[in-house]
């Protein structure tokens, strides 16, 4: 049994890992089988993370965080948590290969997932013109005619970024006013390549092997129309990844994990949350990192107050030799 398992490997998970490892809690970080590093591994330049005045590539930032956590003794497991039992004194986390790990504390830092429109073609044409990540896929749409769905900051950011590549970007929004902040709206409004399709929702996506267009429905009068397109970027928000803990951990009205005050403490003793999974508002790499710090300190305090006999049972950590981030990338 371990003292601490951290589920998630974004800025929250790895920062919690750095703090917990330095406190000699020998954390096991369950880092995902495909997406170690979280959402930042899908971005390019990160210009607002303190300490990098010239910016840093998102994947590089995450590798540095992982290396820092491993340097102090965190063990990183490249697998997904598929089942958790967090209600008892001993927490159990089962991963994709069927192994169950036990720990006295768990930090839940699973982030959030891009929201989908709910259309069947979204899946079949994903990677063939349907995308959730302009920075990942924008390059493939040089001189193309594309659209972005959504009216928030993400949609404005994606649309503005995509004008670097595309000839025309249509923002499809279901209302006639944007939710985005004024500065992001102004930037999009001033861009000659951006047009707006107001009061429209996407009800179908056309294309066999690649997107050729969408069917729109007017949200005011219900009329339907077709829009020819080469690509569709969906930027309608994120949902916190809480599905594993439903029925175990209290969820806030916003859908995020509920925590006590400014702490990371959930309703379950020994279970802490960090990062976007508890944050419906700020959702920045640096706020997630700060939140990971809070969770590690809360976990450390909880462990320090536990019965020494129980704690002694968690001293039997026998971590396997971890693969470092640099080895993983060069492999």
Nearest approach in angstroms of CB 234 to ligand NDP is 8
Q: How many CA atoms lie within 13 A of 300 on its CB side?
A: 17
Question: Which residue reads 């939710």 in tokens?
Answer: 179
Burial 90-128 (b: 16+ CB within 10 A, else e): ebbbbbeeeeebebbbbbbbbbbebeebebebbeebeee
* 151 or 322: CB nearest ligand NDP: 151
For the annotated catalytic residues, the residue numbers are 133, 136-137
- The beta-strand segments (E) located in 21-90 are 28-30, 45-46, 56-57, 75-77, 81-85
Q: CA-to-CA distance for 316 and 52, rounded, in angstroms?
A: 39
* 149 or 159: CB nearest ligand NDP: 149
Nearest approach in angstroms of CB 21 to ligand NDP is 30
* 6 or 155: CB nearest ligand NDP: 155
233 φ, ψ (degrees, to nearest 5) = -105, 130
Nearest approach in angstroms of CB 57 to ligand NDP is 18
Residues making contact with ligand NDP (CB under 6 A)? 115, 117, 149-155, 157, 174-175, 179, 201, 236-238, 281, 283
140 φ, ψ (degrees, to nearest 5) = -80, 0
Q: How far is CA 197 from the centre of its chain?
A: 28
* 30 or 205: CB nearest ligand NDP: 205
Q: CA-to-CA distance for 13 and 292, rounded, in angstroms?
A: 6
| Alpha helix stretches (DSSP H) within the chain | 11-22, 58-71, 120-124, 134-137, 153-162, 182-189, 285-304, 308-313, 325-330
In sequence order, the 6+-apart residues with CB closer than 8 A to the CB of 91 are: 5, 84, 85, 102, 103, 104, 105, 106, 270, 271
* 79 or 122: CB nearest ligand NDP: 122
The total number of residues shown for the chain amounts to 331
Nearest approach in angstroms of CB 150 to ligand NDP is 4
Question: Which residue reads 């640099």 in tokens?
Answer: 326
* 104 or 109: CB nearest ligand NDP: 109
Nearest approach in angstroms of CB 124 to ligand NDP is 18
- Partners of residue 102 on adjacent β-strands: 92
Q: Would you state the structure tokens that stand for residue 33, as one six-digit string?
A: 């089988």
Nearest approach in angstroms of CB 70 to ligand NDP is 30
């Amino acid at each position: 049994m371990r003292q601490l398992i951290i589920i998630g490997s974004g800025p929250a998970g790895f920062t919690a890992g750095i703090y917990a490892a330095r406190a000699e809690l020998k954390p096991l970080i369950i880092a995902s089988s495909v997406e170690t590093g979280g959402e930042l591994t899908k971005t390019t330049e990160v210009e607002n993370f303190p300490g990098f005045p010239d910016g840093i590539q998102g994947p590089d930032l995450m590798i540095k965080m992982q290396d820092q956590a491993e340097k102090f003794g965190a063990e990183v497991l490249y697998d997904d948590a598929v089942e958790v039992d967090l209600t008892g004194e001993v927490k159990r986390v089962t991963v994709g290969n069927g192994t169950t790990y036990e720990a006295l504390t768990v930090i839940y830092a699973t982030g959030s997932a891009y929201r989908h429109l709910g259309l069947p073609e979204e899946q079949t044409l994903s990677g063939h013109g349907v995308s959730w990540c302009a920075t990942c896929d924008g390059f493939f749409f040089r001189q193309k005619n594309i659209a972005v769905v959504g009216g928030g900051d993400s949609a404005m950011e994606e649309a503005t970024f995509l004008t670097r590549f595309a000839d025309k970007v249509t923002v499809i929004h279901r209302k006639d006013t944007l939710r985005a902040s004024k500065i992001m709206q102004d930037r999009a409004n001033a861009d000659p390549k951006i047009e707006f399709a107001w009061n429209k929702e996407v009800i179908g996506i056309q294309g066999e092997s690649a997107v050729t267009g969408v069917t729109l429905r007017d949200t005011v009068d219900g009329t339907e129309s077709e829009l020819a397109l080469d690509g569709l970027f969906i930027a309608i928000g994120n949902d916190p990844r809480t599905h594993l803990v439903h029925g175990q951990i209290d969820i806030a009205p916003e859908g995020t994990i509920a925590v006590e005050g400014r702490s990371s403490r959930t309703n379950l003793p020994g279970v802490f949350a960090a990062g976007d999974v508890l944050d419906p508002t700020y959702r920045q790499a640096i706020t997630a990192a700060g939140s990971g710090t809070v969770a590690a300190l809360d976990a450390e305090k909880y462990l320090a107050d536990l019965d020494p006999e129980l704690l002694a049972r968690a001293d039997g950590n026998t971590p396997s030799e971890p693969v470092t981030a640099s080895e993983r990338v060069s492999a």
